[in-house]
Structure formats: structure tokens, C-alpha cells
Amino acid sequence: MALLKAESSWAKEWLHLLEDGDPARMSRGRTYARKKNVLEFYVDDFTIHAKVQGSRRKPYNVTITIERFTEEDWNRASELLSPTLIDTMRSHILPREINNLFDEPLVPESNYDVESDCSCHDWARPCKHIAAVYYIFAEYLDLNPFLLLDMRGMHLMSFIRRAEELSTEKIKDLPLEAFWATPSNNDKPTATRSKTDQYKRISPFPWKLEGKKLHALLKPGYETIKELATKHYKKLLEKIKN
């Protein structure tokens, strides 16, 4: 803790917020953080809670909150959360692209969007004790950037679960079986002609590939994919029903 690294982009972005603060106070805050004056630190109930040892015997109580995203924000973000982003987050990386899912960036753009409180008598916000907690939070962000999601109102696993539930809902609506079935189109007199496997709809090449016609080459692959996809889809349907 002594070095106050704050190397990740999330941590740096968070510390940028202190640039609005009074430089002397911010510098004292940094010293407090470095000298381990922050005695207690945890994030709970979307809030940073900390105890900071100042000049008085009794440590000061500090809390910091940022505006929470609404249910609507989370739902929209969950819908946009791609499997690739989920995989990245499961490997303990919070990708910068996550910011594109919300109207506002995860780290507030200004200190005016951060609510902080300290039990000291200083009128300034942030005071040096709050600044010290900012530094400690930045260090924690290096280790666990997902604390930003907690601060914004949702735990990582709940966020992923919501996104997966929504994509399952989407699968339920997909007429996948219909895609693999023989198409029936009663409007067109060519209905009998369309009673063919999908791959036959691709116009065949006028030449042969390694001595074979295109459709002959596609047939075995198509049959395998058709079989696997139908099997997978049925399994998925059963899973959803249970």
C-alpha cells in the first residue's frame, strides 16, 4: 500500500477527480494514504466507508457515493452486454467498452457527481481525509475495478446473470427450428421447388472443385450442421422449459 500505485486506467480516471480539489488538501490526503492513516476501508451498500486518522485522537468517518444507475440503465446495458464482454469480465478484466453501454461513464466526469462526507470540521469537499480515501479507492480499483459497478448499483455477477437471462429470452423467440425445416411458402407457385435443403439454394459454380460439384461438397457438412444445430436447439429448449 505504501507506494500508492493506481496504475490502471480506471484508477487514474478516478484520481483525475481530485484535480478539482484544493492542491494543499489533496497533497495532505495523499500523505495520509501513504502513511496508512486510512484505518478502515470497505465498499458496502453502494458506498465507500472509511475511517481516517487525522490530527485528533478519534479517527474521522468518511463516506463516498456516486450516483447509482437506474434499473432502466442496467436493463439496457444488460441487453447490450455481449458474450465477448462477459468472457472478458469473467477473466477479471473490466474492459473500457463497458462505458459504451451506459449514458454516463462508470467513473463520474466531475467531482460534482460524487457525494462525500467526513466527520471533520473542514468545509471543503473533498477534505484531506476524503482525498486520502480517494487514493485508497484508486489502489483497490487496480485490484478490483468491478467495485465501480458496485458503486453504480449492481454486483458483477448479478449484471452477468441479467444479461444471460435476457439472451435466453431472446433464444426462446428465435424460430431456429423453422430455419432448419423445409420452407413452405404457400404464396408462391414455386413452393415445390423450395422444398430443398438450404445449401442447394446457393447457385452452383459452373466448374468443379477437386472433381466435385459445389452441392456435393456442401452436402455432408450441411447434414452434420443441421443435425447438431437441431440437437443443440432441442436441448436448449428443454433446459429453458425446466
Binding site for Zn ion (CB under 5 A): 118, 120, 127, 129
Q: In terms of CB distance, is 17 or 77 closer to Zn ion? A: 17
Q: In terms of CB distance, is 120 or 138 closer to Zn ion? A: 120
Shortest separation between residue 53's beta carbon and Zn ion, angstroms: 11
Q: In terms of CB distance, is 64 or 101 closer to Zn ion? A: 64
Using H for helix, E for strand and C for coil, what is the string for the chain?
CCCCCCCCHHHHHHHHHHHHCCHHHHHHHHHHHHCCCEEEEEEECCEEEEEECCCCCCCEEEEEEECCCCHHHHHHHHHHCCHHHHHHHHCCCCCHHHHHHCCCCCCCCCHHHEEEEECCCCCCCCCHHHHHHHHHHHHHHHHCCCHHHHHHCCCHHHHHHHHHHHHHHHHHHCCHHHHHCCCCCCCCCCHHHHCCCHHHHCCCCCCCECCECHHHHHHHHHHHHHHHHHHHHHHHHHHHHC
- C-alpha–C-alpha distance, residues 173 and 167, integer Å: 10
Q: In terms of CB distance, is 63 or 144 closer to Zn ion? A: 63
Shortest separation between residue 33's beta carbon and Zn ion, angstroms: 13
Shortest separation between residue 66's beta carbon and Zn ion, angstroms: 18
Residue with cell 465498499: 43
Q: In terms of CB distance, is 54 or 145 closer to Zn ion? A: 54
Amino acid in the structure at residue 228: L
Shortest separation between residue 135's beta carbon and Zn ion, angstroms: 14
Shortest separation between residue 126's beta carbon and Zn ion, angstroms: 8
C-alpha cell at 156: 458483477
Q: In terms of CB distance, is 24 or 171 closer to Zn ion? A: 24
Q: In terms of CB distance, is 18 or 94 closer to Zn ion? A: 18
Strands of the sheet with 38-44, listed across from one edge: 38-44, 47-52, 60-66, 114-118
Shortest separation between residue 52's beta carbon and Zn ion, angstroms: 7
Shortest separation between residue 38's beta carbon and Zn ion, angstroms: 12
Rg (CA), the chain: 28
